[in-house]
Every structure is written in structure tokens, then in C-alpha cells.
A = this chain, B = another copy of it.
């Protein structure tokens, strides 16, 4: 991901929070069939890997172990018009944040480990008070229809492009314009990333 210095997003804790809050990712790989892209939730599990699952019938579930993959996590984004700035010489742009995770895929073939990981993913999503994965044969048998995998030793690359290269007058003006257009999430990110500390 092309990231000019002004838009660097590399704080490890902030990246962890970002992927946890935007866990519905895209899993991308390349192979003999060409580029494969699927939309799936991915989350850190106890092992430190990123974990997710694909339908067993999904061609991406057939890629060989250790295939390089990228997982793309996407945050809020919004169009920014030249009219949103106070200064005069601007062009249309887009403000957004994204984290890319580079690594290789390892499918989990041990069914007990797969079941354990599935349980971890459910708790991450539901919390301790929500729905729990029942340890019953009809649920366990669903494991046959999916393939769990991990992205081991994930390397993260973040970008937060929120007009940080503009004057504080321009930044405040863009925040206000985004709020007027109902783009509260992007405006909130701008307040965090673009305002001087």
C-alpha cells in the first residue's frame, strides 16, 4: 500500500484495536486460478495468529499451505471535496484508514484445534454474555463444511490518510464538512489523527 510519510499508521496498539474493530476483512491470494478475493471475518487468536475460516467448497480453501496472502482491513472512509477546504488550491480526494496484513496461510487440519479456534472466534464476536458454541455433534459436524486457517507471523502495514498534510484551518473545515454530510466515523478519525496534539 503506497503510504506517503504524512499518512503513516504504525502504532502497534492502534493497529490491534483497528483490526479488532474492523475484522470483516478481505482475504486475497494469487495462484493458477488468478487472483482470489473473499470477504471473511479475521481475528487474533491465542496463538498470536490471525484466524478465520472459509467454506470447504470455496476455491480459496484449496490453496496450498504457506501460500502468501494479504488480509485487508478497512475503516471508515469518505469523499473530500475541494470545496471542503478553506485554502484555495485543492483537488478531490478520499480520506480513509486501512490495515493490510501480509503473511502465509496455514490450514488447521487437527479437528480438535479447529473446534477450539472456532470457539475462540465466537467469544471474540459474542463476548462472554452472548451466544455460545454448543459442544454438540450437530454443531461439531459443521466443521466438515469449513476449513479453518491461520495467517502466521502476520506483518501489518497501516495507512491513515486524513488530511494530515493540510493546515489546521483546512483540517477543521474538512471535519465540519464531513459531519454535515453525516460522515461521523471519518470525522472522528480525523479528530484523532489530524489534529495537533
Contact = CB atoms under 8 A, between A and B. Distances in A.
Given A28-B28, A79-B125, A92-B125, A34 B68 contact: yes
Given A35-B28, A94-B41, A59 B2 contact: yes
B24 A130 contact: no
Interface in A53-86: 54-55, 57-60, 68-70, 72, 74, 77, 79, 81-83
A83 B131 contact: yes
A34 to B, nearest CB: 6
Contacts of A176: none
A181 interface: no
Contact of A81 (B35, B79, B100, B130): B130
A180 to B, nearest CB: 14
Interface string A73-114: 010010101110000010110101010101000000000000
A8 interface: no
A153 B58 CA distance: 26
Contact of A2 (B57, B94, B159): B57
Interface of A: 1-2, 4, 24, 26, 28-30, 34-35, 37-41, 54-55, 57-60, 68-70, 72, 74, 77, 79, 81-83, 89, 91-92, 94, 96, 98, 100, 102, 121-122, 125-126, 130-131, 133, 138-139, 142, 159
Given A35-B102, A79-B125, 13 more contacts: A2-B57, A2-B59, A24-B77, A26-B26, A30-B30, A34-B102, A37-B70, A37-B72, A37-B100, A39-B74, A74-B74, A81-B131, A92-B122
11 contacts: A2-B54, A2-B57, A4-B55, A26-B26, A29-B35, A37-B72, A40-B94, A82-B131, A83-B131, A92-B121, A92-B126
